[in-house]
Amino acid sequence: MKKLTPAVRQDVQPLPIAVPRADLDLIESWIPMGARVLDLGCGDGSFLARLMHTRKATGYGVEIDDTNVQRSVANGINVIQQDLEKGLAMFEDQAFDVVILSQTLQAMHNTERILRDIARVGKEGVVSFPNFGHWYHVWSIAMGRMPVSKQMPYQWYNTPNIHLCTVKDFEALLAQIGYRILGKQLFLNGEAVQWLGNLRSTLAVYRFKPQFVA
């Protein structure tokens, strides 16, 4: 991997390792012991710190926010301050076992490029995103208003979410760019959804890799 310069630790107190989110619990279970992990949009670094503790993972976080970068460093994370929209050119091909993009995909301008980058630098990709196909969202639009919900709490004029999609939309994109789904789980209020997932779930989590990679 190319030489990287992680942010330098400053006097910021570390946050707890525990991260109570159903999608992160599932993602953790998909991480092999000792895996090399890249966490894109890693926030305060608490999830990668958790993986270092529970899965003996190593790797990097990528984050743009100054405060979150400092928090990540305080949590013992090797973090690169970088705008994901600029791509992942700083990382070599297959540099990581798993690349994670958790609840950030919907805020990306170039969705296809980040997915291709994930598959280039990682042997596997894991992505979670809010499911716009949930029945409440459909009903709200039918009533003439953009939906506001716990999963998507912003108004239409101040939302950071620019590329919302449904479960079926995301699966169609993965198929279009030649990725094979290795794992999938849909959630509603932290509980797994087993039937009518496109209508009943508010959050989707996928694990994938290029179709022709062993």
Share of the chain above pLDDT 70, in %: 86
What's the pLDDT score for residue 134? 81
- Report pLDDT for 147: 72
Query: Can you list the alpha helix ranges (DSSP code H) found in the chain?
Result: 22-30, 46-54, 66-74, 111-121, 135-142, 167-176, 197-200
pLDDT of residue 14: 38
Amino acid at 160: P
Contact 85, 109 (CB under 8 A): yes
Residues of the chain with pLDDT under 50: 3, 8-19
The kind and range of the H/E element at 122 are strand 122-130
Residue 46 has a pLDDT of: 95
The span from the CA of 112 to the CA of 43, in Å, is 22
Q: What is the pLDDT of residue 163?
A: 76
pLDDT tens-place string over residues 103-127: 888 888 899 999 999 999 999 999 9
Q: Tell me which residue has tokens 């305080």.
A: 74
Percent of the chain with pLDDT over 90: 61
* Angstrom distance (rounded) from CA 122 to CA 162: 25
User: What is the DSSP code string of 145-156?
Assistant: S----SSS-S-T
Distances (CA, A) of 14 to 10, 32, 113, 119, 129: 11, 25, 33, 31, 26
Give 165's contacts (C-beta < 8 A, 6+ positions apart): 106, 129, 132, 173
